[in-house]
Amino acid sequence: MQLTNTDMKKILQPYLERFQLTKGYFTGDKKNFQFFQQHSENTDRQDVLLKVGSIKDSDFSESQAKEPMATHIISLSIDERLKSADPQLIHDVSKLAIKEEDREFIGFASKFCNYHRPDSYPIFNLTLTKIISLNDKSDINSDTGKYSNDYQLFKESVVKFMVDNELEILNYWELNKFAFVYGEDIISKVSRSSQVK
């Protein structure tokens, strides 16, 4: 049987209460937020390089493309689009050619924009897409591909998920951390609960 929204809320609430007690301990992220706020423009090469280098994203880190990404971000003149919370900016930042191969770093791009605007840009990650798919009772694998190709749809799904489960007290950065810390446990518990029903 399928889980109801009430079932999902019951599963999420204890994790949310625990998270509320510990979320202040992410000091590395707080330092990044301070730096991004102090250097909010993206025109100075050294500032943009430091921002790019501060973002922890395994897919992007493996690419060793900090310099090309910094150049790419500066070339896009993103500051006005960040201020207006343009969702298409995620796809524009994420696309980068490395050694003549087109790559897309949507997780990195959403983190970069989120550090500028944590209230406007949800962070794309696979764990969160799985939780949202379980909440929507849809196919996890097709949703991941669907969301990576349509950031606006991903954002709309995140907003719906947060409203459905009374998670609006979190900003998008906090939601990402919540999914990082508790996501696998939540997925496991939801899967077990739906098998029992």
Asked if the model's pLDDT at residue 176 lies above 50, the reply is yes
Percent of the chain with pLDDT over 70: 90
Q: What tens digit of pLDDT does each residue of 75-100 get?
A: 999 999 999 999 999 999 999 998 88
Asked if the model's pLDDT at residue 1 lies above 70, the reply is no
Q: Which helix (H) or strand (E) holds 77?
A: none
Helices (H), 25-171: 27-38, 45-54, 58-63, 66-76, 79-83, 88-94, 106-116, 126-136, 140-149, 151-164
Give the global pTM: 0.90
Q: What is the mean pLDDT of residues 12-22?
A: 91
Of 16-20, 51-55, 56-60, 187-191, the poorest mean pLDDT is in: 56-60
Q: What is the pLDDT of residue 143?
A: 53
Residue 141: pLDDT band with limits 50, 70, 90: low
Q: What is the pLDDT of residue 171?
A: 94
| Domain boundaries along the sequence of the chain | 5-26+121-196, 29-116
Residue 197: pLDDT band with limits 50, 70, 90: low
In 3D space, the residue among 155, 62, 75, 144 whose CA is nearest the CA of residue 114 turns out to be 155
Q: What is the mean pLDDT of residues 118-134?
A: 92
Q: What is the pLDDT of residue 145?
A: 64
